[in-house]
Amino acid sequence: MIRTRFAPSPTGFLHIGGARTALFSWAYARRHAGRFLLRIEDTDLARSTPEAVQAILDGMHWLGLEHDEGPFYQTQRMDRYRAVIDHMLAAGSAYHCYMTPEELDQLREEQRAAGAKPRYDGRWRPEPGKTLPTPPAGRAPVVRFRNPTAGVVAWDDLVKGRIEIANSELDDLVIARADGAPTYNFCVVVDDWDMGITHVIRGDDHVNNTPRQINILQALGAQVPLYAHLSMILGDDGQKLSKRHGAVSVMQYDEQGYLPEAVLNYLARLGWSHGDDEIFSLQQFCEWFDLDHITPSAAQFNTDKLNWLNAHYLKRAGTARLVDLVRPRLQARGVSVGAEPSLAAIIELHKERVGNLNELADVAEVFYIDLHPKADLLAKHLTAETLPVLGDFIERLPEVAWEAAAIGALIKDCVARHGLKMPRLAMPLRVLLTGLEQTPSVDAVVALMPRAKVLRRLIAGRDAALAGAGTS
């Protein structure tokens, strides 16, 4: 059975690169009826925080990437790591090293000065016929892995192809610190072994870790998983997307008004393709996804493309769902959503004209607040030419049937009676009722509001304009 995992370190939020890794790992397991595991690699106690753990869990939940097993926490598996280290010490595949950090730093400086690659020189590595120094009294040793010195470590990367590293390029990795704490590369190996991971799909910043991890797995007699290293993601500016450069939290996309299906669809196309298909469901993605069509070259993030996808999914989204998503955004602004006008009706009228949920909340807000249109818009559209036709419309509005068709007919009749074109009344109505110059069909906007509210806004605007004209 295929078993994949997503194993983030909780030292920050779940960013977009991590989300893509999670998506690809999740989809590969789904494609092959396998299992997807979530593992929290929290051994870096100085940088790992409960808040970061929760941010990862929240991001995964928002995206809908639910795990089949886990989450597993490395800090809860320390006894297992120590047991494996003890086994390796007994088997001779690991050894104690009493070299201090200061001594190691001095060695590396000497190597650099001599033009050599800075690395541990194996002075505490047991060898046949080699006499080791006497361990310094009171000094706690680290544990190092006895890396092979000959041959190569190789794997057929499912994205990058064949990769070979000479063992002579690898020194003896520290697998347990002087305080007994196991190191990252060692914990990953034991976890992948114990959890039966068959495919490791991760970012290509882990390529350098892979030969070390393979050697440890082989020393343990464990099955080596298949590896697929995903290329980096570049930001809109062409720079590497990272936590320090443009990689915002996945949950920030929620805050910015994106739908999770839009983000997922975009991530799926970020370094992977299925012919010319741009838009597809998560179900389709799982049916199509394979590792053969992942590009080994860097992928570039394109915010405009994400915005286009989000607008597409907004248009397709059910109105009831959008109401549930927009209402709390309005409440967070202190906007009380009343029974009239219907929030559902507002959303239904506007959802094809906006790019995200926040823009949808913006247009909905004007229907519920105490509106004060900008003075420059009032001056622009409430003029000596338009005020008479606006007054005519206000006078006749109480008697019209409250539906868009009848209101539209009234607008046409009013402008015709005054010898004006449609915009000369439509624009004042838009500004007075919404504070905006761009809206859906103005008759539909009028019909959304209760008649009494429409009249109040129109009369107040008209009277203020007339008063201003009288004093000028």
Residues acting as catalytic residues? 243
d(CA 22, CA 4): 10
Q: How many residues does the structure list for the chain?
A: 472
Is the distance from CB of 312 to CB of 279 less than 8 angstroms?
yes
Is the distance from CB of 459 to CB of 445 less than 8 angstroms?
no
Strands 174-176 and 142-145: antiparallel
Q: Looking at this protein, which amino acid is placed at residue 106?
A: Q
Residues pairing with 153 in the sheet: 165
SS3 266: helix
Q: Which residues of 427-459 are buried (b: 16+ CB within 10 A; e: fewer)?
A: bbbbbbbbbeeebbebbbbbbbbeeebbeebbe
d(CA 42, CA 7): 10
Q: Which residue has the tokens 């915010």?
A: 303
Dig out the tokens for 414 from the structure: 């009013």
Dig out the tokens for 280 from the structure: 């597809």
d(CA 391, CA 248): 51
Dig out the tokens for 433 from the structure: 């009722």
Q: Looking at this protein, which amino acid is placed at residue 265?
A: N
d(CA 199, CA 423): 62
Based on DSSP, count helices (H) and strands (E) in the chain, helices before strands.
19, 12
Give me the phi and psi of 355, to 5 degrees please.
Answer: -105, -20
Dig out the tokens for 77 from the structure: 């598996």
C-alpha dihedral (402, 403, 405, 408), degrees to nearest 10 = 50
Residues pairing with 73 in the sheet: 40
Cis omega before residue 211 (within 30°)? no
Q: Is 104 exposed, middle or buried (0-12, 13-18, 19+ CB in 10 A)?
A: middle
d(CA 241, CA 260): 20
d(CA 182, CA 79): 10
Give, in order, the Cα–Cα distances in Å from 74 to each of 19, 44, 89, 183. Answer: 20, 10, 21, 11
